[in-house]
Amino acid sequence: SWRRSAGAHVSPDAAAAVELTDGDLGSYRAEHPLSRVMPLFRELMGTFATDGEHLLAVCDAQGRLLWVEGHPGTRRRAGGMNFVPGARWSESAMGTNAPGTAVAVDRPVQVFAAEHYIREVQRWTCAAAPVHDPRTGRLLGAVDITGGDGLAHPHSLAFVQAVARAAESQLALLAPPPTAEPDLHLSVLGRDEALLLTGTGHKIRLSRRHSELLVLLSRHPEGLTGDELLCFLYEDESVTPVTLRAELARLRRVLGPDVLMSRPYRLAAPIDSDLATVERRLGSGAVTAAASAYPGPLLPASQAPSVARIRRRL
């Protein structure tokens, strides 16, 4: 994580930027899927946070804090480092920290004191776990507990993991049935190069890099910035944004100008994949059905850090 932070040119003395304020923050939170499980988070974690002088925090998939609640004094101290709703605490912006790193690596993370990349944050300890859409497997964000040395215990990590799983179960109960068939279907399991099936039945064999890009974009329908894609694909490599833009331009020519959008980079057409099918079945507990739909590892030849993490997790 520290190597990724250094590769993203994060300063150890950086301050978090507040990207969403007032009305923008309120409307974004109201529309975010995790708003539906905030009552559950408060029920499971609220008293623990307040009584222990900790904070309950929830971020989106880009590491932006949406809710920060808990002990009033702890909230005031956290406000001094901009650990506040609307602030961006992604790993690429604020270095190693539990909510930002949890969404970066898509797994539970606990960060103790001096393990934080930013010096000002090294007085704190935090644990966070990612939360996924139970139907699609898409990363929605992370739930986090932040405080002092009292959280420096393995139970803190187990606690937020259990809360995240409870949230996914609640979302599964609340999820409406799918309303539309996807326009695109991506086959990425057990093959080094993805096969894309369009709504018209046309099959497109993609290059390895384009396969990696579509895996990432299909998991982030809200879109990804160029910096986020650089980190997901190259991490420690010295690759310029120009190289990435050239790859995306070539992918746009393959897909068509109306499929791949920019600012942020995202797919305009609904897409499903064999990867998402396996994840949905695993998420619902249908292990045998998931195994029957699993022909092999995700893009086994891919060295892209984010793809490798998804492959290991699956």
Q: Which two tokens stand for residue 70?
A: 């808990």
Q: Do domains 2-174 and 184-313 have the same CATH topology?
A: no
Mean pLDDT of the chain: 90
Residue 284 clears pLDDT 90, i.e. is over it: no
CATH 2.70.98.60 assigned to domain 2-174? The reply is no
Per-residue pLDDT reduced to its tens digit, 125-170: 999 999 998 887 889 999 999 998 888 788 999 999 999 999 999 9
Predicted TM-score (pTM) of this structure: 0.61
Largest distance between two CA atoms of the chain: 59
Radius of gyration of the chain (CA): 19
Residue 10 CB contacts under 8 Å (≥ 6 apart), including other chains: 92, 93, 94, 95, 117, 118
Q: Which of 106, 110, 164 is nearest to 139 (CA)?
A: 106
| CATH number of the 184-313 domain | 1.10.10.10
For 285: left if phi > 0, alpha if psi spans -120 to 50, otherwise beta; the answer is left
Poorest-pLDDT segment among 79-88, 123-132, 147-156, 209-218: 147-156
Q: Where are the domains of the chain?
A: 2-174, 184-313
Per-residue pLDDT reduced to its tens digit, 241-261: 888 889 999 999 888 878 888
